[in-house]
Amino acid sequence: MVESQRLLTETINQMANQGGRNAQHGPAPNQYSSFKDFRDTKPPSFIEAEESLQAEEWLNTVEQKFRLLWLTDSLKAEYATHQLQGPASIWWNQHREALPDNLFREAFKGHFLPPVVMEMKHTEFMQLT
């Protein structure tokens, strides 16, 4: 009886330690989240921004959804670009051939969030009282 309790305790400890390692190092290969998993988070679509900060908000929201999932950078780019519609989708289709997947975020920000606009918004924020 004592031996079986010891084995049970050891097994539970091993499972707990293994679960901790998986949480820190991610899932086993080929066990990434599916597009359906991503869609289940109800990610917003992006058509165009009336203000540059709307693009930043969209990007932050999509990245927040990604933190809930196990995804490679390539899958993140594929899933995010699927949410582009209208003018944003046309823009991406024109640029995707020339850019590696991991440059989506930089290309998106460069097009919809020009540095001069971000500087203006930063200055406005700093002057708030």
Q: What is the pLDDT of residues 16-45, one digit of tens each?
A: 444 433 444 555 545 788 999 999 999 999
Question: Does this model's pTM top 0.85?
Answer: no
One DSSP character per residue, the chain reads -HHHHHHHHHHHHHHHHHHHHHHHH-PPTT-PPPHHHHHHT-PPPB---SSHHHHHHHHHHHHHHHTTS---HHHHHHHHHHTB-HHHHHHHHHHTTTS-GGGHHHHHHHHHS-HHHHHHHHHHHHT--
Q: What is the pLDDT of residues 34-90, one digit of tens each?
A: 999 999 999 999 998 888 788 889 999 999 999 999 898 888 988 998 999 999 898
Boundaries of every domain in the chain? 1-31, 32-126
